[in-house]
Amino acid sequence: MKSKKDEIGSLAVTFREHDHAKCASLLLDAARDLCAERGLRLTPVREKVLKLLLKSHAPLGAYDILAELSTSGFRAQPPVAYRALDFLVENGLAHRIEKINAFVACSQPHAKHSPIFMICNDCEQVAETSIKSQGSSLDRTARAIGFDIRHTVVEVEGLCAACRERAPL
């Protein structure tokens, strides 16, 4: 029988159609499990922010989140959103996308990974994939000059398959 973990892995978000509600629900369960395991507190505002990210089909800016929080009875000063986002990012439940100053829920919260984001400049959706960092070209280059990698940012911009079909170049 497939584990929940496998099931989540197989749902890794791409530009393909998928059962988003199921995907979001599984990932929320996974986040709760992960927090329980590690003794982290998934407080109401943190969970709400994660839900907002999971629900969105595109990355959300901190102020988008803030706006949604304010319509849900939460306080809506910037630090409220940034703190929740910091918590989620620090604990691997979300990622920050530097190129667009926005945030997405992590699609593989259980696995230690170096995420890669493919940002469609047309539909603004973002796919998270990953490569294993061990032995990668990046890893070898860093090794060669004695650089100790703590965090990687890999983001590519372009057009997803659907948008290329819709508006061929």
Give me the residues that bind DNA (CB under 7 A), please.
Answer: 40-41, 43-46, 61-63, 74-75, 77-80, 82-84, 87, 101
Give the three-class secondary structure for 109. coil
Nearer to DNA, 45 or 162 (CB): 45
Distance CA 138, CA 150 (A): 13
Question: Hey, what are 2's tokens?
Answer: 């497939």
Query: Does 147 sit near a copy of itself (CB under 8 A)?
Result: yes
Distance CA 62, CA 66 (A): 6
Distance CA 140, CA 136 (A): 6
| 8 Å CB contact between 103 and 60 | yes
Query: Does 142 sit near a copy of itself (CB under 8 A)?
Result: yes
Distance CA 16, CA 169 (A): 20
DSSP 144: H
Query: Does 160 sit near a copy of itself (CB under 8 A)?
Result: yes
Query: Does 168 sit near a copy of itself (CB under 8 A)?
Result: no
**Residue 163 CB, nearest distance to a copy of itself (Å)?**
9
Query: Does 150 sit near a copy of itself (CB under 8 A)?
Result: yes
Distance CA 23, CA 7 (A): 9
Query: Does 99 sit near a copy of itself (CB under 8 A)?
Result: yes
Pick one of DNA, a copy of itself, none as the site partner of residue 72 (Cβ within 5 to 8 A by kind).
Answer: none
**Count of residues that interact with a copy of itself, criterion CB under 8 A:** 35
Query: Does 85 sit near a copy of itself (CB under 8 A)?
Result: no
Pick one of DNA, a copy of itself, none as the site partner of residue 43 (Cβ within 5 to 8 A by kind).
Answer: DNA
Distance CA 29, CA 63 (A): 26
Residue ranges binding a copy of itself (CB under 8 A)? 14-16, 98-99, 116, 118, 120-121, 127, 129, 131, 136-138, 141-142, 145-161, 164
